[in-house]
């Protein structure tokens, strides 16, 4: 269900997995539980906060997420990153969730930038596919716990093995049409 909007995954849980609650209640219950968990222990990748802050000093950043809006806002607040993003979009705010390009296209629109001039950093199969379908330059940083499919990673323009490898020079090189860090 990674990448699906809450409407999509709630319907899947109700219809395909047989969860008896109405879809809206499924979503509300999951979001409520995640809010509790995040308040106790926010699961940020090592170096994520520093990377985002550093990049926000260079360029306006957009966030294109499959998470529900309340979770996006909570995570940005708890991490102290709310001011680092010029735009953020939940897949619940667009017609289709990832792997469709909708959430990325909307983030670019809110930034006032053509999607083809954007660089997306993604860790999941659906996210990589979504950003690539939007026509963005894609840097894959594969999630170690839930690695993306090889076919999805092949859609990326670059692969970094950690956030520490993401530096402005690398992104600038890709934006100019170069290829770096590909193995």
Q: What is the mean pLDDT of residues 99-128?
A: 96
Q: What is the fold of 44-175?
A: Rossmann fold (3.40.50)
Contact in structure between 30 and 56 (CB atoms under 8 Å)? no
pLDDT tens digits along 28-53: 999 999 999 999 999 998 899 999 99
Q: How far apart are CA 176 and CA 146, in angstroms?
A: 30
Q: Is the peptide bond before 99 cis (omega within 30 degrees of 0)?
A: yes
* Whether residue 17 has pLDDT greater than 90: yes
| Residue 139 pLDDT greater than 50, yes or no | yes
Q: What would the DSSP string read from start to end of 114-140?
A: -GGG-EEEE-SHHHHHHHHHTT-EEEE
d(CA 6, CA 97): 9
Query: pLDDT-derived band of residue 72, with 50, 70 and 90 as boundaries?
Result: very high
Concatenate the DSSP letters of all residues of 144-158 into one string. SSSPPPHHHHTTSSE
- The answer to whether the Cα torsion of 79, 125, 151, 114 is positive or negative is negative
pLDDT at 182 over 50: no
pLDDT, residue 178, reads 56
pTM score: 0.89
- Per DSSP, 93 falls in state G
Contact 139, 158 (CB under 8 A): yes
Question: What is residue 176's predicted lDDT score, i.e. its pLDDT?
Answer: 74
Task: Give CA torsion, residues 60, 75, 125, 121, to 10 deg.
Answer: 20
Q: Mean of the per-residue pLDDT values for the chain?
A: 92
Cβ-contact 23, 11 below 8 angstroms:
yes
pLDDT at 24 over 50: yes
């Amino acid at each position: 269900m990674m990448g699906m909007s809450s409407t999509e995954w709630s319907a899947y849980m109700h219809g395909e997995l047989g969860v008896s609650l109405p879809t809206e209640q499924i979503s509300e219950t999951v979001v409520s539980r995640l809010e509790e968990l995040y308040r106790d222990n926010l699961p940020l990748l090592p170096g994520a906060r520093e990377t985002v802050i550093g990049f926000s000093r260079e360029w306006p950043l957009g966030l294109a997420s499959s998470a529900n809006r309340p979770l996006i806002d909570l995570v940005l607040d708890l991490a102290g990153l709310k001011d680092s993003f010029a735009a953020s979009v939940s897949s619940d705010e667009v017609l289709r969730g990832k792997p469709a390009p909708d959430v990325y296209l909307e983030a670019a629109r809110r930034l006032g930038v053509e999607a083809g001039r954007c660089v997306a950093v993604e860790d999941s199969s659906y996210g990589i596919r979504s950003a690539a379908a939007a026509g963005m330059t894609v840097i894959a940083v594969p999630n170690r716990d839930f690695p993306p499919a090889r076919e999805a990673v092949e859609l990326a323009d670059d692969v970094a093995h950690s956030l520490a490898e993401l530096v402005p020079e690398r992104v600038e090189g890709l934006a100019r049409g170069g290829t770096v860090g590909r193995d």
